[in-house]
Amino acid sequence: MSEATVVPTQRGAGRVLAMSSIAFTLMFAVWLMFGILGIPIQKELGLSDEQLSWISALAVLNGSLWRLPAGILADRFGGRVVTLVLIFATAVPAFLVSRAESYGAVLVLAFLVGFAGNLFSVGTAWNSAWFGKERKGLALGVFGAGNVGASVTKFIGPPLILATAGTTFAFGIQGGWRLVPVIYSGLLVVVGVITLLVVPRPDHVPGRSKPVREMLQPLRHVRVWRFSLYYVAVFGVYVALSAWLPKYYVDNFDVSLTVAGLLSATFIFPASLLRPVGGWLSDRFGARRVMYLTFVLMAITSGILMMPNGHIVIAHPDGTQTEHLAYRMALPAFVALVFVLGCAMGLGKAAVFKHIPEYFPDNVGSVGGLVGMLGGLGGFVLPPLFAYSKQWSGFPSSTFFCIFVLVVICGAWMQWTIHGMLHRAAPELAGQIEPT
């Protein structure tokens, strides 16, 4: 573990946490708005499921690619200035989405809107610079709860789209799905201005004099890449399901888009709002214990959810056939299991990032940026994987088979690492989860 000077929580940290959390919530809503907007866009442009999956995937891709450099820039120049740049830069393509008339234009603009997702690594480094160790886990958990922004479009999108369809407003702004990105663009400008006025100056810049090469040194540690894989499981899957669940509900349970959005929110809310709880639990009991709980819950729920509806048909020697073990996942049970899956992710996201300032206190921006980047890239890869695995297997529930395999790999790697570490360093501590 790296050594660093213990820095107490700074005066003004509350304002940094409040505004960074508000900005992150809004930016997250913009980043994942295609989870709802994609369905009417698919109908209007006549897109296939595979084409639709690439709209959300490209937004997620661009919201992941720049997390490492964005985290480094936040450490080098301060989170305040980088946050403002990202907010105002995202407002422009968000507005232009409302003017898109072709699939190609939607893809390009979705990619540009994806810049919003990079605010996470910036906010992590920004808050880490202002909060002392005793409050860092909770503060990062509160900031990370901005993931709840993924549910905003699920709530306001469907009724707004339905109520304004076919309407034209001032300056030629159209109603329906095109109105949502216009509203978001305006809100981004407002939040950017408020952030400019409210957050304290000067900013805390822990990496101002540190060479970039030195900031990248921790990335040589296997531990960083292991944390990144964990974050793919708890965050990449969260991003992918947030975009994929509305369509899953519409296609497999024959519900309206409005109902699908509300049901998706029952996954998004616990996966976001329990993040501060995960941070507190990690402060109180240790991040590894929380990670074990996370992976066990995720494996159980995804293992049940991956079971396809159907039954076993047995062909007997006399030519007759009988059906056995009929199985069907009803909507209430499905929603309940997805809710538990979301709870596990909410705890796990905070636990992963609790590790980073403990092991790499002087390089939170670069390490957090890499972990966030790879976690977000998981959210890019998974939606197309969900679509193509369904096409290949014929089972919609193959979505959860992909998640189950990923979680088992993460849990096995963590157990193997902890077991080996304890036996090498102190065999007498092998029965403990948290080494001292």
19 within 8 A of 195, measured Cβ to Cβ: yes
Question: Which range is least confidently modeled, 196-200, 279-283, 310-314?
Answer: 310-314
Count Cβ atoms within 10 A of the Cβ of residue 226 and give its class: 0-12 exposed, 13-18 middle, 19 or more buried.
Answer: middle
For 91-128, how does the pLDDT look when each residue is reduced to its tens digit (9 = 90+)? 999 999 999 999 999 999 999 999 998 898 898 888 88
Q: What percent of the chain has pLDDT over 90?
A: 31
pLDDT score of 151: 77
Would you state the pLDDT for residue 5? 45
pLDDT over 70 (residue 310): no
Mind listing the pLDDT tens digit for each residue in 341-379? 999 999 998 888 777 777 777 677 678 777 888 888 888
Model confidence, pTM: 0.72
Q: Per-residue pLDDT tens for 11-44?
A: 788 899 999 999 999 998 998 898 889 889 998 9
- Reported as a single tens digit per residue, the pLDDT across 228-266 is 899 999 988 988 888 888 888 988 898 888 898 889 889
Mean pLDDT, the chain, as a whole number?
84
The secondary structure of residue 62, as a DSSP letter, is H
Which of 121-130, 293-302, 311-320, 395-404 shows the lowest mean pLDDT across its residues?
311-320
Contacts of 4 (CB under 8 A, 6+ apart): 361, 362
Give the residue from 39, 352, 59, 41 showing the smallest Cα distance to 224: 352
Task: Please say if the pLDDT value at position 205 is more than 90.
Answer: no
* pLDDT reported for residue 1: 41
Task: State the pLDDT at residue 269.
Answer: 85
DSSP-derived secondary structure for 407-428: HHHHHHHHHHHHHHHHHHH-GG
Take residue 90 and report the two structure tokens written for it. 């995202």
